[in-house]
Homo-oligomer: A and B are copies of this chain.
Amino acid sequence: MFVIITYDVGVKRVGKVCKKLKEYLTWSQNSVFEGQITKTLLLQCLDEIESIINPEVDSIYVYEVKNPNYINKTAYGVEKSFDDLFL
């Protein structure tokens, strides 16, 4: 399946969440990751994310599209690179 994961977490946990998502998905932009992943790996990823976040203040959204052919991505302006995050 194809997933888009967006996160809005406390500043102390941003680095950990970002690092964890990068193990499973491709960074897209700001606090957005995307990529193809199996259901099993997605559940494993989310288990690990849930152990990092504070569910009372942090927020993780997961958009799942079963067939990657059903989703189309278009970029306007520049394409951001992961390194831009840390400049």
Q: Does A41 contact B (CB under 8 A)?
A: no
* Shortest Cβ distance from residue A42 to the other chain B in the assembled complex, whole angstroms: 10
Q: Which residue of B lies closest to A64 (CB)?
A: B72
Q: Which residue of B lies closest to A54 (CB)?
A: B77
In the complex, A28 has a CB within 8 A of chain B: yes
Taking a contact as CB atoms under 8 Å apart, the answer to whether B59 and A63 are in contact is: no
Q: Is A87's CB within 8 Å of the partner chain B?
A: no
Please, how many angstroms separate the alpha-carbon atoms of A73 and B62 in the complex?
A: 5
Q: Which of B29, B70, B76 contacts A65 (CB 8 A)?
A: B70
CA distance in complex: A27, B64 (Å): 18
A71 within 8 A of B: yes
